[in-house]
Amino acid sequence: MAQGRFSLIFATALLLGLFFQCENVWAKTYFVGYDPTGWTFNMEDWPTGQNFKPNDTLVFSYNRGEHNVIVVDRQGHDTCKAPENAYVQSSGFDYIILNKGENYVICNFTGHCEAKMKMAINVL
Ligand SMILES: [Cu+2]
């Protein structure tokens, strides 16, 4: 009986340990923006305070044809210019996977990035 209880406690501790370990390992998925608007203007502050990890996924939901999603570098972010050969996502339901370090995303529809439809996310 005593041994059974010990095994139970041990198994529980083991499971809890695994759970918390997985919690750190499993990447998370975030819907970008404030419900229900999703990816839109004035997004600069949205990442603030969120504990993003490498390999987390950001989902960009928006009306197709009204916006797009382009990963750029710091200069692209600051100047609101995507390179000619940039990979442009425009399905209305796009995603990116965060890398460790700085991640920059803009919408390059005319005037949108300038209207703060851009984000800089530093992943630690
Ligand atoms: Cu846009």
- Residue 112: which CATH number? 2.60.40.420
Residue 12, pLDDT score: 65
Q: Output the CA 103–ligand 1 centroid distance in Å.
A: 18
Composition of the chain by helix, strand, coil, percent to 5: 25, 30, 45
> Tens of pLDDT along 80-118?
999 999 999 999 999 999 999 999 999 999 999 999 999
Q: Output the CA 72–ligand 1 centroid distance in Å.
A: 15
pLDDT higher for 18 or 31? Answer: 31
Residue 10, pLDDT score: 67
Does residue 117 fall inside a structural domain? yes
Does residue 58 fall inside a structural domain? yes
> Tens of pLDDT along 30-84?
999 998 899 999 999 999 999 999 999 999 999 999 999 999 999 999 999 999 9
Q: How far apart are CA 81 and CA 77, in angstroms?
A: 7
Q: Output the CA 16–ligand 1 centroid distance in Å.
A: 43
Q: How far apart are CA 67 and CA 116, in angstroms?
A: 13
Domain count, the chain: 1
Does residue 21 fall inside a structural domain? no
Domain that holds residue 73: 27-123
Q: Output the CA 111–ligand 1 centroid distance in Å.
A: 8
Q: Output the CA 74–ligand 1 centroid distance in Å.
A: 18
Q: How deeply is 17 buried, as exposed, middle or buried, from its count of CB atoms within 10 A (0-12, 13-18, 19+)?
A: exposed
Report yes or no: 101 and 52 within 8 Å, Cβ to Cβ: no
Does residue 12 fall inside a structural domain? no
